[in-house]
């Protein structure tokens, strides 16, 4: 132990590299842990029915035998008869059905509806359930009454008894303000019959349903006991797959999207975890091996005087793990605020609803504290294996020059991985959707691992060939640099591969995304026939009246409603194996969709998209073995199983969703109003560039907005909007790259400092300090060139395939400056991390 410390002394640069690797690694793992923990255990606050001890809703996820349940983003109802049945239970003091529908109060400045207007309209249940700590006035009694929460009432500037204008489900009317309720959530309350009518529960697909049932327990009954009774009762009823929520989980019942967001967070943490752990493994192992390399001679000596291989491994592992343990708390401490920042960003991008709070538990810290030192220990044992296991004579001999030639299995495994990376990158050729691009990213990643394995052999071969072919006129320093690279192929390969990994990661991941973006933009631009988009985000959907007005307007050729939603599709991988459920984005389009959107129909007719019909993306349909005219069965976003005929197949599935539903099919299966936006195509004769007449047509509808969707405002081939998931990937990638680069810099610097003896030898042979610096600089330049070349090569094949698959040309889409910028960064880094320690070495007094 004390010997270990003493051997470590003077190896501070190596241990510093480990410390930095652990610091960053711990922060990354903690961030991933916080995201996963939030996804698994965080709940939004209970706001709609805080007084309820238990809340019953329809299932929020489709259960799945293999793998996690599939979260359902749309609200499904439960039969309102269940309310009465539950109320009859002795454990239940009060039961009431909650119904939410789009509503907003019209004020002088516009409309007021809180963060989400889609469920802002509500049925008045009871102060006990709504959790009103205070209420002035009275509950709404008839169809002319409305009650508001305190904040909305204040924003509307209305007093009890005043008339307030309220937009509900597309209609704007005057209501008398009967009461003001002090409740946490935004609420525009109506009496039971009015609310049921406005929410479309009197007829249609949602007839006689409520969104949720709030239950208050009878005295002396705990909420757990209540939930248990209700669960038994529900399971007894046929055909009801309702779920009971208690405690913090009641929050999930209020916002269906939350369950999707939580699944997304876990998925994000998982997919991040894969790449991050891989990179951390590389970086930590690299740092440890540098540190061990520095100690190799000492270790060999200790081995020669009788230490067992086991003792040697411990000599290496103990200080390394101690360093890791010392740094770990700081990394973890940094991880929490970083996770907070990332979470805020995710919420800002709309990936997760703002209602879901981030959860800072102890679990991520514990997981990090277990995972990382374990990884460091493994890396230390692996790095010292050879020195520890060799006979003392060999151990001493190896210290003279580098370890022997790389083992042959490395080359074979590396070559196999490089081949595999090409195979992995094939999907874009077959699947022209975002699923295909995963292959590109994975392919480049696998290629990097392959590169790491063949690295030493490759460096040896290339530098050897270079050394033999150098022309006689070559400067002696370049000549010496090449020989140094050749002679230290192991050490050099470590640096080259680490930098190449940064290059391949950057190019592979960024260009994979941008290629899809460019292809998406292209398709989008090609397929947009509409001139205007009408939306009404503040009132929860485009009013029917606006749709009718515009459709009948003589200046309008076509007006088609468009609503984003989701579907859950059964999928059997490769036609065999387990059936898995997958959620896919979908879009519900009104009749006449082919007038505003050119989806690139390859078979069938979009004009037939009405009733129980769908149109599918070509590769989506092919992968699922579905053809034109087939009758398909799938789940809507609220979990309901539907059947529909496939009336068309289209090829623009990148720029659009892979599934297009007829509006008739989607009605009743989406939260809020059925129409999120209206795509309008103007009559060319009347001039397509005149939005005024549209605004004139919708001016008397508060909260309705019109925007131009001219295809010309999209720069061809450029990228206009970066979608949130890409933005996140880029942010995480940049952070990861920073980490990799910092670690590589550290490692290079440590390696350079370890070359003191070598520099001294050269200096004693008459090399000037300037020549010494120049020699190191040349080596750094060659390392940088090798790294950029290898990294670009590793990413080249997957990216070329992606380019062919998505853009029909063998190079990816995206900014061209990325490659030179990456090369420049890598070169600068290599130079700095060799130049600074090199200066110190060169300036040192000549000793022998």
Partner 1 sequence: MWLRRGAPATTPEPSPEAEPHSALLLNEVHRRYSDGGATVTALAGVSLRVPRGSFLAVMGPSGSGKSTLLNCASGLDTVSSGSVRIGGTDTSALKEPRRTLFRRDRVGFVFQSYNLVPTLTAEDNITLPLRLAGRHPDRAWLRGLVERVGITDRLRHRPSELSGGQQQRVALVRALATHPEIVFADEPTGALDAQGARRILRLLADVVRDLGQTVVMVTHDPDAAAHAHTTASMTDGRIVDVHPAAATRRFTAVGGE
Stretch that binds partner 1, among 108-116, 159-167, 270-278, 755-763 (CB under 8 A): 755-763
Instruction: Tell which one of 586, 767, 827, 834 touches partner 1 (CB under 8 A).
Output: 767
The span from the CA of 436 to the CA of 489, in Å, is: 37
d(CA 307, CA 313): 10
Q: Is 771 in the site for partner 1 (CB under 8 A)?
A: yes
Question: CB of residue 297 vs partner 1: minimum separation in angstroms?
Answer: 12
Closest CA to 518 of 725, 815, 800: 815
- Closer residue to partner 1, CB minimum distance, 232 or 764: 764
Residue from 765, 808, 816, 817 binding partner 1 (CB under 8 A) = 765
Binding flag, residue 848, partner 1 (CB under 8 A): yes
Give, as one character, the DSSP assignment of residue 133. S
For residues 701 to 740, the per-residue mask of contacts with partner 1, x marking binding by CB under 8 A and - elsewhere, is ----------------------------------------
Rounded to 5°, the CA angle 539-543-544 comes to 160
For residues 172 and 484, which CB has a smaller minimum distance to partner 1 in the complex? Answer: 484
Work out whether 483 is an interface residue with partner 1 (CB under 8 A). Answer: yes
Distance between CA atoms of 782 and 478, rounded to whole angstroms? 10
Which residue in 397, 403, 411, 505 sits closest to 451, CA to CA? 411
Q: How far apart are CA 670 and CA 659, in angstroms?
A: 15
Tell the smallest beta-carbon distance from residue 484 to partner 1 (Å): 5
Answer yes or no: are the C-beta atoms of 614 and 633 closer than 8 Å.
no
Among 308, 391, 716, 768, binds partner 1 (CB under 8 A): 768
When computed from its CA atoms, the radius of gyration of the chain, rounded to whole angstroms, is 33
Distance CA 401, CA 130 (A): 78
Place of tokens 């999930």: 252
Angle 256-304/309-348 helices, nearest 10 degrees?
160
Can you tell me the distance from the alpha carbon of 509 to that of 788, in angstroms, rounded to the nearest whole number?
A: 15
Q: DSSP characters for 186-220?
A: --EEE-HHHHHHHTT-SSGGGTTEESEEEEEEPTT
> Closest separation between CB of residue 757 and partner 1, Å?
9
Smaller CB separation from partner 1, 513 or 755: 755
Told to check if 761 binds partner 1 by CB under 8 A, we report yes
Residue with tokens 């903690």: 30
Which residue's CB is nearer to partner 1, number 305 or number 765? 765
Contact residue for partner 1 among 270, 738, 770, 810 (CB under 8 A):
770
Q: Which stretch binds partner 1 (CB under 8 A): 34-42, 304-312, 607-615, 763-771?
A: 763-771
Q: How far is the CB of 768 from partner 1 (least distance, A)?
A: 4
- Tell me the two tokens of residue 7: 């051997």
Strand-pair partners of 98? 212
Chosen residue from 306, 766, 808, 816 binding partner 1 by CB under 8 A: 766
Please, what is the minimum distance in Å from the beta carbon of residue 834 to partner 1? 17
Please say which residue, 344 or 757, places its beta carbon nearer to partner 1. 757
Task: Kindly tell me which residue out of 330, 360, 479, 811 binds partner 1, with binding defined by CB under 8 A.
Answer: 479
Chosen residue from 328, 609, 728, 762 binding partner 1 by CB under 8 A: 762
Q: Using the rule CB under 8 A, is 769 a contact of partner 1? A: yes
Of 72, 63, 66, nearest to 572 by C-alpha is: 66
For residue 486, the minimal CB distance to partner 1 (Å) is 6
Question: In the complex, what is the shortest distance from the CB of residue 314 to partner 1, in angstroms, rounded to a whole number?
Answer: 29
Taking the complex as a whole, the smallest distance from the CB of residue 500 to partner 1 amounts, in Å, to 22
**Of 41 and 404, CB closest to partner 1:** 404
Stretch that binds partner 1, among 382-390, 443-451, 473-481, 580-588 (CB under 8 A): 473-481
Q: Is 484 near partner 1 (CB under 8 A)?
A: yes
Q: Which of 110, 476, 715, 717 binds partner 1 (CB under 8 A)?
A: 476
Tokens matching residue 474:
């070559």
- How far apart are CB 749 and partner 1 at their closest, in Å? 21
Contact 741, 829 (CB under 8 A): yes
CB 501 within 8 A of CB 448: yes
Q: How far is the CB of 386 from partner 1 (least distance, A)?
A: 16
Residue 428: name the closest of 112, 800, 713 by CA: 800
Contact (Cβ atoms closer than 8 angstroms) between residue 535 and residue 709 = no
Is residue 222 within 8 Å of residue 92, measured between CB atoms? no
Helices 769-807/724-753 angle, 10° precision: 160
Task: Please identify, using beta-carbon distances, which residue of 76 and 492 lies nearer to partner 1.
Answer: 492
Q: Is the Cβ of residue 308 or residue 761 nearer to partner 1 in the bound state?
A: 761
User: d(Cα 526, Cα 601) in Å, to the nearest integer?
Assistant: 13
As measured in angstroms, the least distance from the Cβ of 414 to partner 1 is 24
> Which range, of 14-22, 117-125, 503-511, 765-773, touches partner 1 by CB under 8 A?
765-773
> Which residues touch 256 (CB under 8 Å, ≥6 apart)?
60, 72, 73, 74, 75, 638, 671
User: From the CB of 772, what's the least distance to partner 1, in Å?
Assistant: 10
Min. distance of Cβ 771 from partner 1 in angstroms?
6
Toward partner 1, which CB reaches closer, 483 or 693?
A: 483
State which of positions 485-514 bind partner 1 (CB under 8 A): 486-488
* Stretch (H or E) spanning 147: strand 145-149
Q: Draw the binding track, 613-632, toward partner 1 (x: CB under 8 A; -: no contact).
A: --------------------
- Beta strands of 657-779 (E only): which ranges? 659-662, 677-682, 705-708
Coil, strand or helix: which one is 470? coil
Residues 137-156 touching partner 1, rule: CB under 8 A, are none
DSSP bridge partners of 79: 209
| Cα–Cα dist 660/663, whole Å | 9
Q: Which CB sits closer to partner 1, 243 or 396?
A: 396
Contact positions with partner 1 (CB under 8 A) in 378-417 = 397, 400-401
Q: Which residues bind partner 1 (CB under 8 A)?
A: 397, 400-401, 476-477, 479-480, 483-484, 486-488, 758, 761-771, 845-848
């Amino acid at each position: 132990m004390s010997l270990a410390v003493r051997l470590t002394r003077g190896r501070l640069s190596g241990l510093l590299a480990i410390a930095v690797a652990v610091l960053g690694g711990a922060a990354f793992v903690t961030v991933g842990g916080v995201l996963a923990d939030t996804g698994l255990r965080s709940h939004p606050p209970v706001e709609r029915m805080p007084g309820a001890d238990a809340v019953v809703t329809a299932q929020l996820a489709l259960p799945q035998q293999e793998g996690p349940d599939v979260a359902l983003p749309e609200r499904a109802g439960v039969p309102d008869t269940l309310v009465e049945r539950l109320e009859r239970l002795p454990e239940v003091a009060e039961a009431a059905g909650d119904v939410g529908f789009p509503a907003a109060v019209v004020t002088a400045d516009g409309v007021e509806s809180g963060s989400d207007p889609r469920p802002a309209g509500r049925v008045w249940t009871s102060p006990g359930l709504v959790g009103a700590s205070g209420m002035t006035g009275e509950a709404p009694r008839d169809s002319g009454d409305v009650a508001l929460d305190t904040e909305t009432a204040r924003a509307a500037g209305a007093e009890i008894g005043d008339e307030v204008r309220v937009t509900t489900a597309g209609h704007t009317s005057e209501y008398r303000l009967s009461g003001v309720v002090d409740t946490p959530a935004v609420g525009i309350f109506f009496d039971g019959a009015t609310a049921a009518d406005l929410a479309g529960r009197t007829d249609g697909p949602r007839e006689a349903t409520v969104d949720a049932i709030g239950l208050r327990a009878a005295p002396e009954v705990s909420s757990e006991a209540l939930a248990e009774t209700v669960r038994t009762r529900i399971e007894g009823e046929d055909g009801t797959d309702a779920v009971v929520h208690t405690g913090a989980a009641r929050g999930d019942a209020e916002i269906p999207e939350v369950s999707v967001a939580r699944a997304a967070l876990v998925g994000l943490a998982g997919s991040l975890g894969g790449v991050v752990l891989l990179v951390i493994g590389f970086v930590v192992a690299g740092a440890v091996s540098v540190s061990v390399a520095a100690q190799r001679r000492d270790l060999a000596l200790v081995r020669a005087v009788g230490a067992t291989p086991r003792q040697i491994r411990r000599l290496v592992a103990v200080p390394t793990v101690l360093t890791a343990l010392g740094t770990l708390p700081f990394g973890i401490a940094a991880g929490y605020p970083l996770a907070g920042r990332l979470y805020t960003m995710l919420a800002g991008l709309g990936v997760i609803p703002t209602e879901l709070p981030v959860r800072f538990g102890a679990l991520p810290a514990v997981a990090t504290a277990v995972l990382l030192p374990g990884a460091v220990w493994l890396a230390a044992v692996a790095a010292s294996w050879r020195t520890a296991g060799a006979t003392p004579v060999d151990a001493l001999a190896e210290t003279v020059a580098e370890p022997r030639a790389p083992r042959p299995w490395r080359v074979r495994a590396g070559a196999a991985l490089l081949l595999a990376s090409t195979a992995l990158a094939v999907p874009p050729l077959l699947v022209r959707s975002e699923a295909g691009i995963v292959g590109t990213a994975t392919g480049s990643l696998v290629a990097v691992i392959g590169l790491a394995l063949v690295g030493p052999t490759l460096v040896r071969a290339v530098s050897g060939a270079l050394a033999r072919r150098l022309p006689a006129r070559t400067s002696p320093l370049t000549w010496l640099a090449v020989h140094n690279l050749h002679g230290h192929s192991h050490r050099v390969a470590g640096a080259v591969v680490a930098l190449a990994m940064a290059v391949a990661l950057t190019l592979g991941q960024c260009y994979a995304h941008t290629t899809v973006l460019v292809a998406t933009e292209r398709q989008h631009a090609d397929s947009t026939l509409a001139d205007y988009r009408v939306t009404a985000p503040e009132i929860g959907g485009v009013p029917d009246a606006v749709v009718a007005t515009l459709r009948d307007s003589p200046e309008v050729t076509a007006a088609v409603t468009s609503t984003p939603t989701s579907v859950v599709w059964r999928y059997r991988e490769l036609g065999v194996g387990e059936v898995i459920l997958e959620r896919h984005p979908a879009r519900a389009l009104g009749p006449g969709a082919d007038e505003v959107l050119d989806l690139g129909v390859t078979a069938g007719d979009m004009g037939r998209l009405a009733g129980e019909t769908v149109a599918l993306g070509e590769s989506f349909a092919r992968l699922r073995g579905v053809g034109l005219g087939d009758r398909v069965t799938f789940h809507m976003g609220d979990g309901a199983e539907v059947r529909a005929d496939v009336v068309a197949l289209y090829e623009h599935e990148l720029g659009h969703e892979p599934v297009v539903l007829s509006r008739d099919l989607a009605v009743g299966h989406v939260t809020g109003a059925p129409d999120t936006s209206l795509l309008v195509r103007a009559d060319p004769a009347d001039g397509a560039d005149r939005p005024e007449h549209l605004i004139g047509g919708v001016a008397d509808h508060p909260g309705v907005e019109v925007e131009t969707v001219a295809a010309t405002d999209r720069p061809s081939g450029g990228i206009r909007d970066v979608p949130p998931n890409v933005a996140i990937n880029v942010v995480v990638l940049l952070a990861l790259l920073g980490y990799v680069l910092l670690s590589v810099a550290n490692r290079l610097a440590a390696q350079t400092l370890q070359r003191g003896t070598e520099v001294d030898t050269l200096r004693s042979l008459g090399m000037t300090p300037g020549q010494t610096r120049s020699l190191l600089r040349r080596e750094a330049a060659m390392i940088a060139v090798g790294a950029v070349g290898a990294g670009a090569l590793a990413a080249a094949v997957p990216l070329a395939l992606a380019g062919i698959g998505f853009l029909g040309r063998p190079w990816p889409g995206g900014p061209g400056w990325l490659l030179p910028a990456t090369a420049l960064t890598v070169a600068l880094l290599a130079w700095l991390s060799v130049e600074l320690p090199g200066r110190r070495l060169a300036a040192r007094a000549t000793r022998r």
